[in-house]
Every structure is written in structure tokens, then in C-alpha cells.
Amino acid sequence: MTRLTVCWTTPSAIPEGPLLSFLPPAAEETLASRSRGSFLRARDMRPDDRAAARADYLGACARIGAARVGGRTLREECSDGEVSAWWFHPTSFKDCESDPALGRLLALRAILRAIADAGASEVETWGAPRDLARVLRGRLPVIERAAPWASPEPVWWLRAAASRAFTFVQALLDLAACAAAAPRPSVPGPKVQLLGFWDWSVRADEGGRLSDRYFKALPDELAALGASTGRLCWLDADKDPARPPRGRLAAARGAAASGVVLLQSFLDIGDVLEAVSDIKPLSAYLRRRGEPGFRAAFSADGLDLFPLFEERLLRGFLDGGLPRCELIRKSAQRACATLKPSVCVHFLEHFLPARAAFAGARAAGAGTAAVQHASFCREKTFYFLDPALEFRGEPDGRPVPVPDRIFAMGRLSAGYFLECGYPSERIVASGSPRYDHVRPPAPAKRRSGPGVRVLLAPALDLGTEAALLEAAAAASAGLPGVELRLRNHPFGPLSERPEFEPLKDRVAVSTGTLDEDLSWADLAMFTYSTVAEEAVLKGVPAWQWRPVSYDASALAEAADIPRFSSVAALRAALSRFQPGDGLPDDAARARLVEDLFLMDDGGAARRVANSLYLP
């Protein structure tokens, strides 16, 4: 009998047989050096297994809302008119960054592959998530060791109910701030309304000029064509960690002074009460979750995947997410009915707040558009829609609210939007105004002197990025001349995580601009940050630390770059580093511009404006 040992924590005794590791980098390296059998790393997972896990995840998420029970789908049961609350549920969004289900499915596929290769007849897990072990038992016996505590269902209810209560209180405070500082407009406004969040996606700078993280120069380009733009924003104050908090009332007054219309000004207390007291979607789910016809949506290769979705599904129907989206939808509809724009433009593509805003704008007769805000790849699952079940809304006529037009950043993403079901005429290849600073690829950067300066560029999933930090620190320990600098994500500072504390004397924290950091660096290390793409175009090689879970790097998908899954391999590469090691050649970097940014002429904002405004 062959036993496969699968580790999320270090086992108490080293097993004799095959071992599959999901451990953090340093612990994994120690265990690999002591292993007596075949040692497998989840970071080395085969591409076909990754693709199968992705298909399992996307397929289940698409089938849940469309599953019929008693002649009606869950989407129909959750509908108010043509719009279904299902489309505001986080599971329908497929957020790989916050939903653990995709990571669990990737782990499941890696384990199944290891079982097949080793001919294992049983599995012993150390620290495995309990929901994953439940699914795996559908295939063979599982011995659980050091299993983490899993909260029981009553705790899910309590947490979700607390979230809904918090949303209720926050919504009332937002309404009070808007009523005191930002009166509701009563006459039509500009024909182009840019949607955003005040004051983290758009805000006023010290001179009173509006600054937008995502639309950047788009309003100026529209103005050059003779079109004025309005700002229609959801009040979402104090969400930018780089700015001192000022409170929602001050934020609302700042919006009024800047001519920004706040969506909450179109709501009243009755709307909030109605949104938070609506349990129709929750009731529809509870009636169905034990039905065989519904549970069939979770079947894949003879396994029942429901345990991987169970908590997220329940909490998503009960917490504050659905009420918040409903308030965005209702306020956007009323705002568009008053302001009468020709088009409302968002930067969050298929994200839940954008879906709600698109549904509201469309109900008021306004056109909708989305400008792609960041590059994406196949494992950034929140961008992808099933063309039949979701985009076209088969079989119940309840399609997901999507924009009338998509302004795609590059050739790759334009193709992905086609896969979602968009007709080609609804996709405009334009580039993104957010990246109009990208310029033609620079020559490979050269620096005299010994050593290597490594810029660590984490993304938003700090649990995943902690492994990048640990791997870089472990691999560079004792290597002469290696300097590490951490560039925090603007909305998720890794330097404030406990994993950084023991490394604070070895890893500097950047306080400069991205250009300054890339001018300093000889090498950028990342998991999936877009900083890596900009680094490569500026002549700085980018090396990827492979994640143990989903891989959301567009650069790693579009270019042949060094990728590392072990501390030993990374250490060896750092020890022999020469300037430019791993940098794609000039032709490859030119293709990278086309694939990810479309052009490097600084003209994306102009192209979007020309397509949006037709006088």
C-alpha cells in the first residue's frame, strides 16, 4: 500500500513514501533536504492540471445560478425584474483573490495527479483545509493530521449577519453625510459620466484639481473634443492607506466643492432598510442547497465540490455585499434618470459594483462602457464569463449586467473578452489611460559594481505575497551584495504584515515613485504584480516566484521569463546574476507591449475619448 503525504504544515516525522508540499518557502526547503522519498512541490503543478482546476471553478460558478429546481433557476428566484441579485453575489464574480475555492481546486488537482503518478491508495494530510479533505474522501481514504480549526455553520451566520448590520450603519452614515454636504442634483448633466469611488479612485489634489487613478487624462481628451464629463461616484471615504483619514462628512463636502455627484444622494433611509431587510435571495438558496438538481452543479470528475463553496455561498447571501450592490444599482438608476447621460463609464469591467451600476444605468436608458483598468490572464478568473450561461443568460433570460462596450488594454485581453461572449463590435482595442505613461521598451539596464539590487513588487493578495517576501529573504541570506527593497501595493502594505517584522532589518521599504524604484533596481521579483510588466519594458528583468495557488500574472503568461519554485534554485540564480539576466529580447518585449498594453504611444485616453464621444 502506497501512502501519499500532503503537507501544509511540517509533519512530525519524515515519511518514507512520496510527499507533496504546499509549505511556505523556507519550511519547504528544510523538508526537501530531509525527505527520504520523492519530493513534489505544488508550485511545480502541470499546466494541464492548472487548466482543469480553472475549468472546474469557472464551470461550477456558472452552473450554480443557472441550476433549475422545480422549473426555476436560482437566478430567477433571486430576481427583481430583469436583474438578478445572483449577479451581485461574490461566487458569481469568481474572485480568485478573496475566494479560496480556486486555490482549493488547484490543490485538489495537484493531489490527484500525485496520487496517480505514485499509485497511492491512501492520503495522509498535514494541516490540510478540512473542506478539501472532505472532497478528497470521495476518491480514496484520507488520514487527517494537524487539521486546522474550521468554524461551524452558526459562526458563518453570525459573521455574515454582523457584516449586514455593519453595512446598514455605514449606509445610514453615508446618507447623513451626503444630505449635509452634497445635495441631490435635479437637472440634466454632462452626457459622459465617469463612474468611480470618492475618494480613493478619484479625489481632489492640493490644488483642487480632480485626480483619477484609472481614467487619468480621459476627461481632458474628452474636453478637447468639446465634451464635458461628469463624475458620478459612490462615497467610499478613507480607503486609501496612503492618505490620512478625514471622515465621510469632510469627504462629502470635498465632493460637493469639486462638482462630484455622490450616488448616495439619490437614496433615502427607506432604500437602506429595504436593501438590508431583503432575504429573498438567501431564502431561495436555503431552499435549494440540499436539492440533488442543485447539487449537481458542483460535480466534477465524480467528485462533489460543494464543500469548497459552501461557506462562501451562505455568507455571500447573508452579509452586506448584496445590499450594497442593490443600493449602487438603485442610486445609479435614479442618478441617470435625473442627469440623463448618454453613456456611463466604469473602470471595473465585470466587478460587482460595476455590474450594479451598469444595471441601474441601463434601466434609466443610459449607455454603458468599461475601460480595462489592469492586465489579466487566464487565472484572473473574475474577468471571465461563460458565454452561454452568463453572458447570454441561458436558459432563463437573466444575463449578467455587462457594459455595452469594452475598451481593452491589449491584444490578449481583447481575445479574452471575445471568449466571454462579447461580439467583436463591442470590443474596442484602445489601451488603457491608466498606462499611458508606458513608453517603448528601453535598452537592458546596466550598472557597474558588484551585487544585485532586487525590487520586491507584491500584489494585493498579501497571503500569497508573504511567500514572495520569505523566498527572496531566504534565497539571498548570506549572499554578498544582494539588496532587497519592498515596494508596497498602494492598497495592501506587505510591510505591515507580521511576516515582515523579522525581516525589517534586511528588507528596505520604498518611499519613492515607481520610476525611482525601477531606476534603482537590477531585478524585479514578483508573483503577479503589473509592476513586473513595466519593469521589463524599462529594461529591468523580472523573475516570478511561483505561487502555490492561483497564478494571476499576465507577464508570465505572455512572455518567457525566469520562474522559480524553490529557494535553492532562486539562490543559485541570484548568486550568478548578471545584468539583464532573464530579460526578454527586443522583439519579445515589443510583442509584450502589443499583447498587454496595445501601444506605447501615450494615446489610449485619446482613443477612448474618440470612441466615446461622437458629436
**Radius of gyration, alpha carbons of the chain:** 25
pTM for the full predicted model = 0.95
State the pLDDT at residue 491. Answer: 87
Per the prediction, the chain carries an average pLDDT of 95
State the pLDDT at residue 63. Answer: 97
Give the rounded percent of residues in the chain with a pLDDT score beyond 90. Answer: 90
Q: Indicate if the pLDDT at residue 82 is higher than 90.
A: no
155-198 tens-digit pLDDT: 999 999 999 999 999 999 999 999 999 788 989 999 999 999 99
State the pLDDT at residue 27. Answer: 95
Q: Indicate if the pLDDT at residue 382 is higher than 90.
A: yes
- Going along the chain from its start, the domains and CATH numbers come out as 3-64+89-145 (no CATH), 185-266+323-435 (3.40.50.2000), 452-596 (3.40.50.2000)
The mean per-residue pLDDT over the stretch 245-269 comes to: 94
Distance CA 96, CA 101 (A): 8
State the pLDDT at residue 613. Answer: 77
Distance CA 454, CA 452 (A): 6
Non-local (6+) Cβ contacts of 94 within 8 A are 57, 58, 61, 102, 381, 382, 384
Higher pLDDT, 36 or 278: 278
Please provide residue 544's backbone torsions phi and psi, each rounded to the nearest 5 degrees: -100, 130
The mean per-residue pLDDT over the stretch 293-313 comes to: 96
423-449 tens-digit pLDDT: 999 999 999 999 999 999 998 887 766
Predicted confidence band at 139 (pLDDT cuts at 50, 70, 90)?
Answer: very high
**Which residue intervals of 10-129 are DSSP H helices?**
25-34, 47-66, 74-77, 90-93, 101-118
Whether the CB-CB separation of 122 and 141 falls below 8 Å is answered with: yes
Non-local (6+) Cβ contacts of 169 within 8 A are none
Contacts of 236-244 with CB under 8 Å at 24 or more apart are 236/197, 236/198, 236/199, 236/200, 237/198, 237/199, 239/197, 239/200, 239/491, 240/199, 240/200, 240/203, 240/490, 240/491, 241/490, 241/491, 241/493, 242/490, 243/203
Whether the CB-CB separation of 524 and 535 falls below 8 Å is answered with: yes
Distance CA 279, CA 140 (A): 39
The C-alpha angle with vertex 72 and arms to 69 and 77, in degrees rounded to 5, equals: 105
State the pLDDT at residue 339. Answer: 97
3-class DSSP state of 78: coil
Strand duo 210-212 + 229-235: pairing: unpaired
**Residue at grid coordinates 520610476:** 515
Nearest to 530 by CA among 435, 402, 414: 435
Distance CA 499, CA 503 (A): 8
15-24 tens-digit pLDDT: 989 999 999 9
State the pLDDT at residue 615. Answer: 59
Higher pLDDT, 529 or 205: 529
Helix (H), strand (E) at residue 203: strand 202-204
CA dihedral 198, 244, 373, 442 (to 10 degrees): 150
Give the rounded percent of residues in the chain with a pLDDT score beyond 70. Answer: 99
Q: What count of Cα atoms within 13 Å lies in the side-chain half-sphere of residue 8?
A: 18
Predicted confidence band at 573 (pLDDT cuts at 50, 70, 90)?
Answer: very high
State the pLDDT at residue 153. Answer: 95
The mean per-residue pLDDT over the stretch 64-69 comes to: 94
444-491 tens-digit pLDDT: 887 766 789 999 999 988 989 999 999 999 999 999 999 999 999 988
Distance CA 297, CA 305 (A): 9
Higher pLDDT, 434 or 615: 434
Strand duo 229-235 + 542-545: pairing: unpaired
**Which residue intervals of 233-351 are DSSP H helices?**
248-257, 269-277, 280-288, 292-295, 306-318, 321-339
Nearest to 561 by CA among 577, 544, 576: 544
3-class DSSP state of 406: strand
3-class DSSP state of 582: coil
State the pLDDT at residue 614. Answer: 65
Q: Indicate if the pLDDT at residue 365 is higher than 70.
A: yes
State the pLDDT at residue 445. Answer: 82
Q: Indicate if the pLDDT at residue 36 is higher than 90.
A: no
What does each C-alpha distance from 153 to 158, 191, 292, 312, 504 come to in angstroms?
9, 48, 21, 11, 39
Q: What count of Cα atoms within 13 Å lies in the side-chain half-sphere of residue 255?
A: 38
Whether the CB-CB separation of 351 and 195 falls below 8 Å is answered with: no
Distance CA 543, CA 561 (A): 6
